[in-house]
Amino acid sequence: AKELVRVLVTGAAGQIGYALVPMIARGVMLGSDQPVILHMLDIPPAAEALNGVKMELVDAAFPLLKGVVATTDVVEACTGVNVAVMVGGFPRKEGMERKDVMSKNVSIYKSQASALEQHAAPNCKVLVVANPANTNALILKEFAPSIPAKNITCLTRLDHNRALGQISERLNVQVSDVKNAIIWGNHSSTQYPDVNHASVKTPSGEKPVRELVKDDGWLNGEFITTVQQRGAAIIKARKLSSALSAASAACDHIRDWVLGTPEGTWVSMGVYSDGSYNVPSGLIYSFPVTCHNGDWKIVQGLAIDEFSRKKLDLTGAELSEEKELAYSCLS
C-alpha cells in the first residue's frame, strides 16, 4: 500500500476550500490509489463552518480519506504535511488601500512560512493560491529559508486552463487536444497569455494554434484580454469569484508537479525566477515548465518576439513593484 500523504488546505472553510477538499479526498489531486489525510486550517471566526466541512467529509465516506484535522492552530495544521495548498488570505474589501491588503497578507504569509518551515514534512511542496498569489509565495519563501525555493510555487494554472478553454471554444475542438499555452508573469490582469507555441491535435497531426486560428487580430487582442479579465467576468456573472475552476486548477498543478507532465507537454506554474528569458531573478513569476520525478524545470529556448517581450517585461515590472510594496510592509 502507498504511504499516507498529508495535505494541508488553508482557508478551508472558504469557497475554494469547499470545492477543493472533496477533490483531494477523491484522489483528483494525487491519484485514485493515494490515501490522504486532510489538514484544514482557518481562522477562529470560521471555526464552526470549518467543523461543518469536516462533518461533510465524514458523511461523504471517501475511501481514500484516512483522517481529517480541522483546526485554527497553525502549528497543528502544518505538522507533518507533505503538500500545502495555501488558499487562506485577506481579501481586498471596498475602499481598502492596496498597501493595507498587502500588509495583512504579508503578515499572514510570514507567520505561516515559519510554521511550515518548522513543522512540515521534509521536502513539503507548497502551492500558494491566495492573492496576491505570486507575492504571497515570495514572502513565504523569504521567511522559510530552509524550505528549498523550488518547493514554493503559486497558482497560474487556472489562467493556463482558461487559455486552453478559449482556444478550444474558438476552434470548436476538444480542450484535451489543445496544449502548450503559456501564462507569463503575475496572476493579475498584467499576465501574458501566450499561444505562440501552442498546438492542437488534429486528424492530420499536430498544428500550431496560430495556423489554425488564422485571425492574428483576435489572438493578439481579444483572446489575451478575455483570459486576463476572466476572473472579473466570473465575479460579474456569479457575484462570487471563481471557485470550482480554481480548485480544479490547484489539483492539476499539484498532480502534474508530483506525477509529472506528459511527454511533449508543458504547463504554467509560478516559480522562483532564475533569470530565464531575462525575467528578473528573485521574483515568483509564471513560466512554462515540465515536471519529472517531483521537480519542475523551466522550458528553455522558446523564441520570444517583440510583442511578447514587452508583455513579459510589463508583468515582471508589476511583480517587482509588488515585491517592493510587500517589503515596505515589513519595516
Minimum Å distance from CB 89 to ligand NAI?
A: 4
Catalytic residue among 39, 119, 160, 187: 187
Q: What is the DSSP letter of 148?
A: -
Nearer residue to ligand NAI within complex by CB, 88 or 316: 88
Which residues lie across from 287 on neighbouring strands?
Answer: 269
Per CB under 6 A, 43 contacts ligand NAI: yes
Minimum Å distance from CB 132 to ligand NAI?
A: 8
Minimum Å distance from CB 285 to ligand NAI?
A: 14
Residues whose CB is less than 8 angstroms from the CB of residue 152 and which lie 6 or more positions away in sequence, other chains included: 126, 128, 137, 140, 141, 144, 272, 284
198-227 burial code (b ≥16 CB/10 A, e <16)? bbbeeeeeeeebeebbeeeeebeeebbebb
Per CB under 6 A, 326 contacts ligand NAI: no
User: Rounded distance, CA 266 to CA 224, Å?
Assistant: 19
Q: How do beta strands 36-41 and 5-10 pair?
A: parallel
Nearer residue to ligand NAI within complex by CB, 11 or 200: 11
Residue 187 falls in the annotated catalytic set: yes
Task: Name the nearest CA neighbour of 316 among 271, 286, 288.
Answer: 286
Minimum Å distance from CB 198 to ligand NAI?
A: 19
Q: What is the DSSP letter of 281?
A: T
Cβ-based burial of 80 (10 A; exposed 0-12, middle 13-18, buried ≥19):
middle
Q: Which stretch binds ligand NAI (CB under 6 A): 31-39, 83-91, 169-177, 301-309?
A: 83-91
Near ligand NAI in 182-201, by CB under 6 A: 187
Per CB under 6 A, 155 contacts ligand NAI: yes
Minimum Å distance from CB 197 to ligand NAI?
A: 22
Whose cell is 531575462? That residue is 278
Per CB under 6 A, 152 contacts ligand NAI: no
Per the CB < 8 A criterion, the answer to whether 111 and 36 are in contact is no
User: Rounded distance, CA 48 to CA 75, Å?
Assistant: 19
Minimum Å distance from CB 59 to ligand NAI?
A: 20
What cell does 272 get?
A: 522562483
Q: How far apart are the first and last CA of the chain?
A: 49
Q: Total number of residues binding ligand NAI (CB under 6 A)?
A: 28
Q: Which stretch binds ligand NAI (CB under 6 A): 162-170, 199-207, 238-246, 273-281?
A: 238-246
310-320 burial code (b ≥16 CB/10 A, e <16)? ebbbebbebbe
**CB-nearest residue to ligand NAI:** 14
Among 101, 130, 140, 299, binds ligand NAI (CB under 6 A): 130
Q: Which stretch binds ligand NAI (CB under 6 A): 130-138, 171-179, 204-212, 306-314?
A: 130-138
Among 5, 6, 8, 11, binds ligand NAI (CB under 6 A): 11
Per CB under 6 A, 243 contacts ligand NAI: yes
Task: Name the nearest CA neighbour of 257 among 275, 246, 271.
Answer: 271
Task: Name the nearest CA neighbour of 164 among 42, 252, 57.
Answer: 252
Per CB under 6 A, 158 contacts ligand NAI: yes
Per CB under 6 A, 133 contacts ligand NAI: yes
Per CB under 6 A, 244 contacts ligand NAI: no
Chain contacts with ligand NAI (rule: CB under 6 A): 10-11, 13-17, 41-43, 46, 87-91, 108, 129-131, 133, 155, 158, 187, 241-243, 246
Give the annotated binding-site residues for NAD(+).
11-17, 42, 105, 129-131
- Residues taking part in catalysis: 187
Give the annotated binding-site residues.
11-17, 42, 92, 98, 105, 129-131, 162
